[in-house]
Amino acid sequence: MDMLASTVFDADNHYYEALDAFTRHLDPALGPRVIEWVDIGGRKYHALGGRVSRAVMNPTFDPVSPAGALVDYFRGNPNGRPMHELMGRPEAIRPEYRDRDARLAVMDAQGLGAVWLFPTLGMLYEEALKHDPEAVVLLFRAFNRWVAEDWGFAYRDRIFAAPYISLADVDEAVAELEWALERDARTVVLRAAAPTTASGPASPADGVFDPFWARVSEAGVTVVVHAGDAGLSSNGYAPEGFSASFKGGGRMVPSIKMFAIERAAHDFLATLILEKLFDRFPGVRIASVENGSDFLAPLFKKLTASARRMPGYFSEDPVVTFRQHVWINPFWEDDVVEIVELMGDDRVIFGSDWPHVEGLPEPRDWVTELKGFDDEAVARIMGGNARTLNQRSPAP
């Protein structure tokens, strides 16, 4: 089951942000309110809104652990090795993590035709500033200019970086979307969280955000809901914060947080269905990336029960609506047979999470998980479905 390199589309690639990714296009006078580098004990960290972020251990990413370092851990850690051994020896940051031409050369070696490219730090920082929606707007306006400058939104028609959109201010979200569309953005990326506006948190399907979803539907651009810091509460069972599962020295300890990793996407996607966003905007397409898929079966069961209990509320079977408008990128260790049974092979997209430690060291290795599928299904999952989503499909 050999795949032609030109057809494989990896729907979950990442860069490691340049040191000035958030500040190159930000007025330095705004640094204390928005973001700035600080030195603590000889190590550099970002401070957001004046508070030091420890969301990652080394936000300079130099050095950084090798791509796919935790592959054995996510395969069940069959040899029972401790986390610090699994992480491997950090290495100097590689050019392909920050340079688009170097990335293209690596993509050729990996047999990848195209990739969607997403933030690393950028998926974590809205939560830290959500108390100040204006600062959120300033942060990601500056960040997106860096993305466009260093990566581009459709570079060589192979690297498709996604601008980050926050719904903290709907007018600014629409303006940022327009700016991105003018520059050939094929996707935009949001975190899986209820946005916090000047009036407080709100459902992403609340009518106040309809201008954004209307423009998305009209333009036919795909909205990617990607894993990040969604601000989920542990309700006292475990320390709060994105990196709270780690103790001193990077040692991971189990907690309830490890059982709730897919909760953010579950709640976000369920809300879009329950509040009938797709009835209002039938052209909207959502790709759930790096959120896993184990939540699908119980979610479908609950949606079916809700439809029975509330006859006449949904315009059609809500599970059918979900399958029409949502595409799922499973974790590479998930059961792809079950996912295809739930979603159909035309709604599953391949993503390796490269070069993150929890991703695959060689992206195309995932094709071995598809050995039970026919060639047409493999072609759709490994590239065809993402290519469809990568083309704008304006609402009629």
The tokens describing 388, both together, are 């469809």
Average pLDDT for 54-61? 94
Please give the average per-residue pLDDT across 110-127, as a whole number.
Answer: 97
Indicate whether 143 pLDDT > 70.
yes
Q: Could you state, in order of their start, the residue ranges of all structural domains in the chain?
A: 5-390
pLDDT band of 87, cuts 50, 70, 90: confident
Q: How far apart are CA 380 and CA 343, in angstroms?
A: 13
- Give the span between the Cα atoms of 67 and 353, in whole angstroms: 9
Residue carrying the six token digits 């049974």: 341
- The residue behind tokens 């700035």 is 36
- Mean pLDDT within 127-146: 98
Highest mean pLDDT among 84-93, 132-141, 228-237: 132-141
The pLDDT of residue 122: 98
pLDDT at 252: 64
Q: What is the average pLDDT across 201-208?
A: 98
Mean pLDDT for 55-74 is 93
CATH number of 5-390: 3.20.20.140
Q: Is pLDDT of 245 > 80?
A: no
328-334 mean pLDDT: 94
Q: What is the pLDDT of residue 395?
A: 81
Among 23-32, 179-188, 361-370, the least confident range? 361-370
In the Cβ-directed half-sphere of 242, how many Cα atoms lie within 13 Å?
19
Q: How far is CA 363 from CA 57, 97, 207, 303, in A?
A: 25, 15, 39, 34
Torsion over CA of 133, 138, 141 and 144, rounded to 10 degrees? -100
CA angle centred on 386, ends 380 and 390, rounded to 5°: 140
State pTM to two decimals: 0.95
Report the distance separating Cα 119 and Cα 295, nearest Å. 24
Q: In the numeric block, which tokens belong to residue 322?
A: 């979900």
- By CB neighbour count within 10 A (0-12 exposed, 13-18 middle, 19+ buried), where does 106 fall? middle
pLDDT of residue 119: 98
Question: Does the pLDDT at position 249 exceed 50?
Answer: no
pLDDT at 86 over 90: no
What confidence score (pLDDT) does residue 6 get?
Answer: 64
Question: What distance in Å separates the CA atoms of residue 35 and residue 178, rounded to the nearest whole number?
Answer: 25
Higher pLDDT, 89 or 285: 285
pLDDT at 244: 54
**Alpha helices per DSSP H over the chain:** 71-74, 83-86, 100-110, 125-129, 133-150, 170-182, 210-219, 263-274, 277-280, 296-309, 318-325, 336-343, 375-379, 385-390
User: Does 1 score more than 60 pLDDT?
Assistant: no
How much is the pLDDT for 240? Answer: 78
Residue 251 scores a pLDDT above 90:
no
Residue-wise pLDDT tens digits, 159-176: 999 999 999 999 999 999
Residue 185 is predicted with a pLDDT of 98
Per-residue pLDDT band at 255 (split at 50, 70, 90):
confident
What gap in Å lies between CA 173 and CA 175, rounded to an integer? 5
Of the listed ranges 66-75, 184-193, 277-286, the least confidently predicted one is: 66-75
Contact 265, 291 (CB under 8 A): yes
Beta strands at 187-191 and 159-161: parallel, antiparallel or unpaired: unpaired
Alpha carbons 84 and 107: distance in angstroms, whole number: 29
Q: What is the pLDDT of residue 75?
A: 82
pLDDT exceeds 90 at position 118: yes
pLDDT at position 254: 78
Query: What does the pLDDT look like over 265-302, one tens digit per residue?
Result: 999 999 999 999 999 999 999 999 999 999 999 999 99
Banded pLDDT at 316 (limits 50, 70, 90): very high
